Amino acid sequence: MIFEPFSIKGLPFKNRIVRSSIGGKTAHWDGTITSAFKNFEKRFAENEVAAIISATIAVDEKRASPLQYPVLSHDRFIKPLAEAVKAVQQYDCRYIIQIGDVGGHTQTSLFNEAEDAKSASTLFDFFFGYKTLHRAMSQEEIEIAIEKFGEAARRVRETGADGLEVTASKGYLIHQFLNPAVNRRTDQYGGSVEKRFRFLEEVVRTVRQKVGDDFLFGIRLSAADYNYLPLNIRLPLRFPLRQWYFGNTLKENLYYAQKLKTLGVDYLHIDKGFGFINPKGNPGAFPLHEIKLYYNGNRHLSFKAWMRSVLVNTIPEFILSPLANIGWKDIPAISADEARRFRDEIGLPVIANGGFQDRRLIEETLQAGKADLIAMARPLLANVNLVRLFKQGAFLPPNPCTHCNRCPVRTANFPLGCYDPSRFASQEEMEAQILEWSAASDERLAYQENANSMAEQLADK
Ligand SMILES: Cc1cc2nc3c(=O)[nH]c(=O)nc-3n(C[C@H](O)[C@H](O)[C@H](O)COP(=O)(O)O)c2cc1C
């Protein structure tokens, strides 16, 4: 079934494999994408994925996170993005732009800024975001945030993209409003499950109005929050403790999905967990060294950031490593069973995400009707030609992704690529692969051509 075409809202997908969002340092400091963004995306399209879902593109430039990640908060960002969209579409590959707002999970900033603390409620969360305290948004700030989603959605359509996805997952701002441990509001945006949905509902209504009824519009939704993973230090405690410990379960998320269907959303993209990164969203190993690197790089930003870095540097690794690894496990097709519940009970097309790589498992998931499309990130970063290999009959690539999870953390500081040394014969080989991903920019190629022609001219003299 992998190679059976599929369509959503009349939009054809040539096979069932979608490249999931992969964010990285592919923009200038102001958030305008560089040509590395285009070249990065193009490589997946050339290698036969049916569609690409972009990195989460920030709707608010004040919370571009991390720095040098793409932003869509102004019309000046449309043109360069439109060029990237076109470059992908020439390979009969659909391009869906995902937009989002990280809210209080903002990872880095030039300076400590009040905007980076904005969330559903005021609380202390040890693991996510650099701000010591997340702060509740005012009614006016909520309205501005919704407006920013709407304006970014309009821009998405103007880029010529095939569709738009809003992330209500990953522990980002919308997810912060949905999650009962994070949303402690007592106004119309918090309290009951209906009220926690209100922020997302207003975003969906605004976005739909901006992009029109004929434009593909999906939502990335977490099937269950698992607040206790990776580390639930959200203080003060929230009662009932069951909600604080687990967050939303499948039951509440099915309720949200039903409402989304009524609001006219076209598909659901299902993953699991709360926060980036978390063991349910990125099943595999805990990247302790990469987390240390990240904490060390940002410790100047706040007291909490400094404290985290002191802790990870002083606790001996033989104690820290087993503790930090609690809950981290490589679980294949981690959200496939939940995806089936959404597909069966809501009746919208479903993309399943997380822990796919083996062709047999992808085939089984599709055959069993658990999902219509399968999204992959890390395995495609490790083997960009994975779909071609499947076509040639392979079940797994010869050098598969190990789900070591170094890439999603390391690339907040460094270029995109695979950072697992066990997959490479030498450090030079690993470096060359990273350069191939991220530095294959038009500027570099032009520079190379220029250097070649200068060398020829010198040789002629
Ligand atoms: C380097 C990297 C960057 C990512 N960036 C984003 C992102 O910008 N937005 C998002 O929603 N998910 C992001 N993800 C999560 C992936 O889209 C995907 O959900 C996750 O890696 C699990 O899928 P996999 O098992 O196929 O890797 C990223 C993952 C990686 C590895």
Residue 395 and residue 451 share a domain:
no
Q: Is the CB of 271 under 6 A from ligand 1?
A: yes
Ligand 1 pocket check: which of 20, 40, 102 to mutate, most ligand atoms within 8 Å of Cβ? Answer: 20
Residue 430 lies inside a defined structural domain of this protein: no
What integer pLDDT is reported at residue 448 of this predicted model? 64
Residue 441 and residue 322 share a domain:
no
What residues have CB less than 8 Å from 292, skipping those under 6 apart? Answer: 309, 312, 313
Ligand 1 pocket check: which of 18, 19, 21, 69 to mutate, most ligand atoms within 8 Å of Cβ? Answer: 21
Residue 377 lies inside a defined structural domain of this protein: yes
Question: For 242-270, what is the mean pLDDT?
Answer: 98
Residue 1 lies inside a defined structural domain of this protein: no
What integer pLDDT is reported at residue 459 of this predicted model? 78
Taking Cα atoms as reference points, which of 68, 265, 49 lies closest to residue 168? 265
Per-residue pLDDT band at 444 (split at 50, 70, 90): low
Ligand 1 pocket check: which of 16, 378, 402, 404 to mutate, most ligand atoms within 8 Å of Cβ? Answer: 378
pLDDT tens-digit map of 321-341 = 999 999 999 999 999 999 999
Residue 15 lies inside a defined structural domain of this protein: yes
What integer pLDDT is reported at residue 458 of this predicted model? 75
Q: Is the CB of 103 under 6 A from ligand 1?
A: no
Q: Is the CB of 50 under 6 A from ligand 1?
A: no
Give DSSP secondary structure letters for 130-145. S-SSBEEPPHHHHHHH
Residue 448 and residue 377 share a domain:
no
Q: Answer for the pair 268, 221: CB distance below 8 angstroms, yes or no.
A: yes
Residue 301 and residue 210 share a domain:
yes
What integer pLDDT is reported at residue 65 of this predicted model? 76
357 Cα nearest atom in ligand 1? 26
Q: What are phi and psi of 125, to 5 degrees?
A: -130, 115
What integer pLDDT is reported at residue 288 of this predicted model? 96
Instruction: Kindly give the distance from the C-alpha atom of residue 453 to the centroid of ligand 1, in angstroms, as a whole number.
Output: 40
20 Cα nearest atom in ligand 1? 17
Number of domains in the chain: 2
355 Cα nearest atom in ligand 1? 25
Residue 451 and residue 319 share a domain:
no
Residue 286 lies inside a defined structural domain of this protein: yes
Residue 337 and residue 439 share a domain:
no
- Give the CATH number for residue 246: 3.20.20.70
What integer pLDDT is reported at residue 443 of this predicted model? 62
pLDDT tens-digit map of 182-230 = 999 999 999 999 999 999 999 999 999 999 999 999 999 999 999 999 9
Instruction: Kindly give the distance from the C-alpha atom of residue 57 to the centroid of ligand 1, in angstroms, as a whole number.
Output: 13
376 Cα nearest atom in ligand 1? 26
Q: Is the pLDDT of residue 440 over 60?
A: no
Question: Which residue minimizes the CA distance to atom 12 of ligand 1?
Answer: 21
Within a 10 A sphere around the Cβ of 116, how many other Cβ atoms? 26
pLDDT tens-digit map of 266-304 = 999 999 999 999 999 999 999 999 999 999 999 999 999
CA distance 343 to 448: 49
What integer pLDDT is reported at residue 169 of this predicted model? 98
Instruction: Kindly give the distance from the C-alpha atom of residue 120 to the centroid of ligand 1, in angstroms, as a whole number.
Output: 24
Question: Which residue minimizes the CA distance to atom 22 of ligand 1?
Answer: 354
Residue 318 lies inside a defined structural domain of this protein: yes
Residue 443 and residue 393 share a domain:
no
Range of the domain at 174: 6-423
pLDDT tens-digit map of 95-126 = 999 999 999 999 899 999 999 999 999 999 99
Helix, strand, coil percentages, rounded to 5, for the chain: 45, 15, 40
Host H or E run for residue 250: helix 250-262
Q: Is the CB of 354 under 6 A from ligand 1?
A: yes
Question: For 371-384, what is the mean pLDDT?
Answer: 98
Question: For 407-415, what is the mean pLDDT?
Answer: 94
Residue 250 and residue 158 share a domain:
yes
Residue 428 lies inside a defined structural domain of this protein: no
Question: For 308-318, what is the mean pLDDT?
Answer: 96
Residue 193 lies inside a defined structural domain of this protein: yes
Give me 434's structure tokens.
Answer: 């990273």
Residue 190 and residue 58 share a domain:
yes
What integer pLDDT is reported at residue 447 of this predicted model? 60
Within a 10 A sphere around the Cβ of 133, how many other Cβ atoms? 16
Instruction: Kindly give the distance from the C-alpha atom of residue 20 to the centroid of ligand 1, in angstroms, as a whole number.
Output: 6
Question: Which residue minimizes the CA distance to atom 3 of ligand 1?
Answer: 22
Q: Is the CB of 407 under 6 A from ligand 1?
A: yes
pTM for the whole thing? Answer: 0.95
Residue 377 and residue 448 share a domain:
no
Residue 128 and residue 39 share a domain:
yes
Percent of the chain residues topping a pLDDT of 90: 92
Q: Answer for the pair 106, 277: CB distance below 8 angstroms, yes or no.
A: no
Range 429-460 burial, b when 16+ CB lie within 10 A, else e: ebeebbeebbebbeeeeeeeeeeeeeeeeeee
Residue 334 and residue 439 share a domain:
no
Pairwise pLDDT comparison (460 vs 116), residue with the higher score? 116
Q: Is the pLDDT of residue 129 over 80?
A: yes
